[in-house]
A and B are shown apart, each in its own frame.
Chain A
Amino acid sequence: MFAWTIYISFIGVAWLLTLKSDDAAGARRVALLTSGASLLAALMGAFQYSADSGLVDVANVPWVAHLGIRYHLAVDGISVVLLVLTGLASFVGILFSMNIEKRAKEFFAFYLALIAGVFGVFLSFDLFLLFVFYELAIVPKYFLIAIWGSTRREYAAMKLALYSFVGSAMVLIGLLAAYVVAGGTTFNLIELAKFPFPREFQMWAFPLVFTGFAILAGMWPFHTWAPTGHSAAPTSASMLLAGVIMKLGAYGCLRVAMVLFPLGMSDWAAPFLGLASWREVFGLLAVVGIAYGAMVALVQKDFKFVIGYSSVSHMGFVLLGLMTLSTIGLSGAVLQMFSHGIIAGLLFGVVGRMVYDRTHTRQLDELEGLRLSKSMPFAAVTFVVAGLASMGMPGFSGFVAEFQVLIGAWKSFPTFAVIAGVGVVIGVAYTLRAVHKAFFNDAPEVVAVGGGTAALGGSPKPHNADHDWDDISIPERIGTAILIATTLIVGLYPRVLLDLIVPALNSPLMEKLVKGGAQ
């Protein structure tokens, strides 16, 4: 069933290419249909999957026999969680793109191609195949931002493309080297994970591959593509970028770098600058990302940049969780991948689609004068809920995830856990600031009512409480409901996901890892 997520998306691309180029409504229907179908495929697969069955092959046929490359798709609990996330985020992203008119056919074709690549990565257990899907995602991202984006779109698109490509070049070096060292006969992840790579080899291969993937996960200091990319992208692409693409990176860190090269995380011969291993180095970078992202988000003027930097901060929790190497920390990290995917999608949906597409401004200073809580109550309520989820309020998924990561981190590196805790507090601050400024500012309107002062900072014509903005449309409401329901369900009953994640972490594949690669 799961394999159909990929095929359906590709069928959608092919179908879209046959449409007339001015048939925007048709393109939207096709996109909605195919992404709905692939969400359905992912959900059906998830219901059929039982956590006890461990690793289940979906497809396994030779591809390039001469090099031992196979078309090998399989799922375990972690893949299932992320596949469901991808299905949800992409479907809701399409719901939030129902206002695309410009070159709609191409937009959705690139969008679905991107989604196909993401599904593929989460399903691949052959590293060559995984890499192919991973790189497949680069080009659609570039065009989605460069053609349909906003602020500095061409710059942001190129930056994202180059960052991704540099990261994947690093990954490719590591994978090629691992493949050759292991004898050059297989790319099968399970086989390679069993191969005893020499310690000194793992010591350079691990940081190389981990960093290569972590670039896409927004690890500080390689995060700078994220805020610019998220802000420039059209709404649904931001939802995908923050919601799913960043998870590709984190997933690669866990599934490839850490599983293949566990000894790369063991202690160095001598500490360097007070750090004893690559594990501590990346742990440190993760908490710096948490704190730095949160503090920078606190002073942003552009609404989307606030969310962009908050993504960097939240992804820091994922990386920190990975580096704890304990079941609770790792399961927290995977849960955080899911949770942040949903919440970031919601936040970008509100900011990009509901607010920006209607008011045509994202400057918090200008939004202050618009009293959006009155004119757009639905958006305001949604954002408050999403903000609560994002700041880690109990009852939402974000709380369960970050709490687990913090517990795990407390055991492994207490200092980092404290810094991360501070990051959570700052997270509350920037979220409240954004809520206040964008929606609930009671200050008298700065912009005078009337037609004469439109020159203010290039802002749109000043608005009163009664604007001619479209109502929040039905698809937007449906999408919002889906995402809020998901974060609530996971927040109130996290076992729906944990029952999938924890057995996967205790599987033979991850065994070496969870028992502490530190030996």
Chain B
Amino acid sequence: MNYSELFTLLAPETLLVIAALGVLFIDLTTLRGEDIATRMSWGAWLTVGACFASGVAAFMAPTATPAGYLDGMLVLSPLSPWVKAVILLLTGCTAIVSISSRFTEHAGEYFALLILATAGMLFLVSTENLLLIFVALELLSLCLYVMTAFNKRNLQSAEAALKYFLIGGISAAFLLFGFSLVYGVTSELNLAKIAPKLASATPDSLLLVGMLMVVAGFGFKVAAVPFHLWAPDAYEGAPLPSAAFIASGSKVASFFILAKLMMLGFANAGGSGAWMNFSSGWMPMLAVVAGLSVIVGNVAAIAQSSVRRLLAYSAVAHAGYALVGVLANQKSEGLASVIYYVATYAVTSVGIFAVVGAVQDRAGNDKLPAFAGLSKREPVLAFCLMIFLLSLAGIPPLAGFFGKFYLFKSGLLVQGGGPASLGMLWLVVLALAMSAVSLYYYLRVLKEVYVSVPAPDAPALEMPWAAKAVAVVLAFVVLLLGCLPGLLVNQLVAAMQVGAN
């Protein structure tokens, strides 16, 4: 093994790890006597700088690794820099949103964890080895558990973290067990080598159990029904930036690796999830999970009065939509649509959390009435919130609409199918019907914002300029990617074509 070559390939990740240690060091030494405001903003801007440097490194790094390099532990493709860039952008935005938060005295530790979690995501994106997937996932998850519990003065935060941790621990056990069964059947850890081994044999029951456990493990990570129960508490109880991070960056990384695992590693053991035509494999399992997520997430969100819980359930529903893309028959289209959808969804989520955070800081809670008359008190933020929520509802010309459209189109497309075959039609119909339900609860929030009259004693909102800038920029991104989806889609498709050749 050549260490200088390894370092070149791993430059983005290495930079992040160094930055995490650097942030800790600076916070403990030079900033020791400073007040919390200074330390938070130093930490945040250092994080942003680290993300930027790492992003540059990701695009500078080679876009291909030698075949069979380290048994698939490190695989770079032309697609990786794009996914990494999205993740780093989300981390940077989360860091900026954190600046004004006052949930902790431990600024250095908080940002170090944030950066380490990001490093975990980047590793997750650049590996195709079951073992390293698991390790990277645990690096990410452990950081997220701690970040959820970070508000020591708040019982809710502790409760949320405990739930998240316990369920997360169990799901990690499932995932590892599943991986070990897959390894037992194929005696391979490298996804590229697992695939051909699965092609020859009909899926035996051991493999099916293994895949079921993998689906369960990832179902937890992406908060799909019936593994979603931690999400509402974590979204509501965690400190706001942590919640934003869980809702955004971790979703992108988890979905990317899930799609890769299923579409690349288990491609030949998919079976079929088409209506009345189920055959055993991971597809019917994932199809049922997707269908349940779409239904439960949207229906449960109707009943919520806390906006953060509402977002949690809507996240469950969105996980269901995104799974439609994972189920696509045509792999490249499916992967491109999943990445587009999850990336735009994550961008939207961070934006919403930025606005919700500003409201919550003033009103003391995130119940619907706290948003009453926001359009009068803070027209710019209200407009951003409208763009974000409508994008989630899938109203054109916003990114969420095109994302859904692209997903469902990939879900219907059948490779080499006859003129009348429409892949996952039942799931697409279900998802579209349920997205009509979703408009109701998004409009309920917007009704408070635009229609309701603010309480006469409602305090004016004060939001640090940086966080406001994040909201505005993200809203612009959502609008831009909705009007010109080609900007991102063309890059993804081109990257995948280069990778395929």
Chain B neighbourhood of A106, CB < 8 A:
375
- The yes or no answer to B432 lying at the interface (CB within 8 A) is yes
Number of A-B contacts (CB under 8 A): 87
Residues of A within 8 A of B15 (CB): none
- Any B CB within 8 A of the CB of A161: yes
> Which one of A166-174, A331-339, A464-472 is at the interface?
A166-174
Do B436 and A162 touch across chains, with their CB atoms under 8 A apart? Answer: yes
- A21-B379, A135-B396, A201-B420 are contacts. A154–B451 as well, Cβ < 8 Å? yes
Cβ of B406 within 8 Å of any chain A Cβ, yes or no, is yes
CB of A236 to closest CB in B, whole Å? 18
Q: Is the CB of A181 within 8 A of B432?
A: no
> Contact at A173–B429, with CB atoms within 8 Å?
yes
Q: Is A432 interfacial (CB 8 A cutoff)?
A: no
Q: Which of A129-175 contact B (CB under 8 A)?
A: 131-132, 135-136, 138-139, 142-143, 146-147, 154, 158, 161-162, 165-166, 169, 172-173
A161 touches B397 (CB 8 A): no
B409 at the interface (CB under 8 A from A): yes
A179 cross-chain contacts in B, Cβ below 8 A: 409
Per-residue contact bits, chain B 275-304, to A (CB 8 Å; 1 contact, 0 not): 000000000000000000000000000000
Given the known inter-chain contacts A180-B409, A181-B419, please indicate yes or no for A169 contacting B451, CB distance below 8 A: no
Cα distance A138–B393 in the bound complex, in angstroms: 12
Say whether A169 contacts B433, CB under 8 Å: yes
Neighbouring B residues of A177 by C-beta, 8 Å = 412, 422, 425
List the one stretch of A62-70, A92-100, A237-245, A246-254 in contact with chain B: A62-70
Q: Name the contact of B436 in the complex, choosing from A21, A165, A176, A184 (C-beta under 8 A).
A: A165
- Give B244-259 as 1s and 0s: 1 = Cβ < 8 Å from A's Cβ atoms: 0000000000000000
A167 to B485, CA, bound (A): 24
Shortest B263–chain A CB gap in Å is: 19
A213 to chain B, nearest CB (A): 15
Q: Does A377 contact B (CB under 8 A)?
A: no
B390 to chain A, nearest CB (A): 6
Contact of B493 among A63, A66, A176, A201 (CB under 8 A): A66
Task: Decide: A176 and B451 in contact? CB cutoff 8 A.
Answer: no
Which residues of A have CB within 8 Å of B390? 139
How far apart sit A197 and B422, CA to CA, in the bound complex (Å)? Answer: 13
* A65/B486 contact (C-beta < 8 A), A162-B436, A162-B440 known: yes
Task: Compute how far the CA of A184 lies from the CA of B489 in the bound complex, rounded to whole angstroms.
Answer: 16
Q: Is the CB of A135 within 8 A of B412?
A: no
Is there contact, CB below 8 Å, between B447 and A180?
no
- Chain A residue numbers with a CB within 8 Å of B436 are 162, 165-166, 169
B192 beta carbon closer than 8 Å to chain A: no
- B235 contacts A by Cβ under 8 Å: no
Residues of A within 8 A of B429 (CB): 173
- A200 to B419 alpha-carbon distance, docked (Å): 11
Query: Cβ of B409 and Cβ of A184 under 8 Å apart?
Result: yes
Q: CB within 8 A of B413: which of A128, A143, A165, A180?
A: A180
A198 is an interface residue with CB less than 8 A from chain B: yes
Assembled-state Cα–Cα distance A166/B432 (Å):
9
Q: Which residue of B lies closest to A201 (CB)?
A: B420
Q: A489 to chain B: closest CB distance in Å?
A: 36
Asked if B53 is at the interface of the complex by the 8 Å CB criterion, the answer is no
Looking across the interface, which residue of chain A has its beta carbon closest to that of B487? A64
Q: Are B490 and A176 in contact (CB under 8 A)?
A: no
A143 to B386, CA, bound (A): 12
Q: How far is the CB of B471 from chain A (nearest CB, A)?
A: 17
Q: How far is the CB of A157 from chain B (nearest CB, A)?
A: 8
Inter-chain contact B486/A66, CB cutoff 8 Å? yes
**Nearest Cβ on chain B to A329's Cβ, whole angstroms:** 31
Contact with B along A190-203 (1 / 0, CB 8 A): 00000001101100
Q: Which residues of A contact B111 (CB under 8 A)?
A: none
**A184: chain B residues within 8 A (beta carbon):** 409, 413
Chain B residues, CB < 8 A from A200: 420
Q: In the complex the two chains form, what is the Cα distance from A198 to B420 in whole Å? A: 7
B443 CB–A CB distance under 8 Å: yes
Q: Does B461 contact A (CB under 8 A)?
A: no
Shortest A161–chain B CB gap in Å is: 6
Is B439 an interface position by the 8 A CB rule?
Answer: yes
Given known A-B contacts A63-B486, A146-B447, A181-B422, A131 and B409 have beta carbons under 8 A apart: no
How many chain-A residues does the 8 Å CB contact rule pick out?
37
Q: By DSSP majority rule, is chain A's interface helix, strand, loop, or mixed?
A: helix
User: Is B412 touching A139 in the complex (CB atoms < 8 A)?
Assistant: no
Contact status B422-A136, CB under 8 Å: no
Report yes or no: B447 in contact with A154, Cβ–Cβ below 8 A: yes
Residue numbers in A under 8 Å from B406 (CB-CB): 67
A-side contacts of B268, CB under 8 Å: none
Which residues from chain A contact B435 at a C-beta distance below 8 Å? 169
Nearest residue (CB) in B for A196 is: B419
CA–CA, A177 and B493, complex, Å:
22
Asked whether A132 lies within 8 Å of B428 as measured between CB atoms, the reply is no
Chain B residues with CB under 8 Å of A198's CB are 419-420
Contact indicator per residue, chain B 408-443, by CB within 8 Å of chain A (1) or not (0): 110011100001101001001100110110011001
With CB as the reference atom, state the residue of chain B lying closest to A21: B379
| Cβ-closest chain A residue relative to B438 | A165
- The CA of A39 and the CA of B401, in the complex, are separated in Å by 30
If A67-B406, A162-B439 touch, does A143 touch B450 (CB 8 Å cutoff)? yes
A67 to B493, CA, bound (A): 11
Knowing A139-B390, A180-B422, A184-B409, the reply to whether A172 touches B396 (Cβ < 8 A) is no
**Given A173-B429, A181-B422: A139 and B395 within 8 A (CB)?**
yes
Specify which of B422, B451, B489 is in contact with A66 (CB 8 Å cutoff).
Answer: B489
Contact partner, B395, options A64, A135, A143, A197, Cβ 8 Å: A135
Q: Which of B432-477 contact A (CB under 8 A)?
A: 432-433, 435-436, 439-440, 443, 447, 450-451
The CA of A172 and the CA of B390, in the complex, are separated in Å by 17
Query: Quick one: closest A residue to B408, CB to CB?
Result: A176
- Whether, in the assembled complex, B52 has its beta carbon less than 8 Å from a beta carbon of chain A, the answer is no
Is A147 in contact with B413, judged by CB distance below 8 angstroms? no
Q: How far is the CA of A165 from the CA of B404 in the complex (A)?
A: 15
B482 to chain A, nearest CB (A): 9
B82 at the binding interface (Cβ < 8 Å): no
Which of B397, B425, B433, B493 touches A132 (beta carbons < 8 Å)? B397
> In chain B, what residue has the closest Cβ to A177?
B422
Cβ distance A260 to chain B, nearest Cβ, rounded Å = 14
On whether the beta carbons of B413 and A158 are closer than 8 Å, the reply is: no
* Interfacial residues of chain A within 196-247, with CB under 8 A of chain B in the complex: 197-198, 200-201
A180 to B413, CA, bound (A): 6
CB-CB under 8 A from A154, the residues of chain B are 447, 451
Q: How far is the CB of A51 from chain B (nearest CB, A)?
A: 32
Contact of A136 among B397, B402, B414 (CB under 8 A): B397
A residues within 8 A CB of B450?
A: 143, 146-147
Of listed B413, B414, B419, B490, residue having the most chain A CB within 10 A = B419
Q: Are B451 and A180 in contact (CB under 8 A)?
A: no
Chain A residues with CB under 8 A of B433: 166, 169
Q: What are 25 residue pairs bridging A and B, where the CB atoms are less than 8 Å apart in the complex?
A: A65-B486, A65-B490, A67-B409, A67-B489, A128-B405, A132-B401, A135-B396, A136-B396, A143-B450, A146-B447, A161-B439, A162-B436, A162-B439, A162-B440, A165-B436, A166-B433, A169-B432, A169-B433, A169-B436, A172-B405, A173-B432, A176-B409, A176-B428, A177-B425, A201-B420
A-B CB proximity, top 9 nearest: A132-B396, A169-B432, A180-B412, A166-B436, A146-B451, A64-B486, A169-B436, A165-B439, A165-B436
Besides A67-B409, A177-B412, A201-B419, 17 other A-B contacts (C-beta < 8 A) = A64-B402, A64-B486, A65-B486, A65-B490, A66-B490, A106-B375, A132-B396, A136-B396, A138-B395, A146-B450, A169-B436, A176-B428, A180-B409, A180-B412, A180-B414, A181-B420, A198-B419
Residues of A within 8 A of B (CB): 21, 63-67, 106, 128, 131-132, 135-136, 138-139, 142-143, 146-147, 154, 158, 161-162, 165-166, 169, 172-173, 176-177, 179-181, 184, 197-198, 200-201
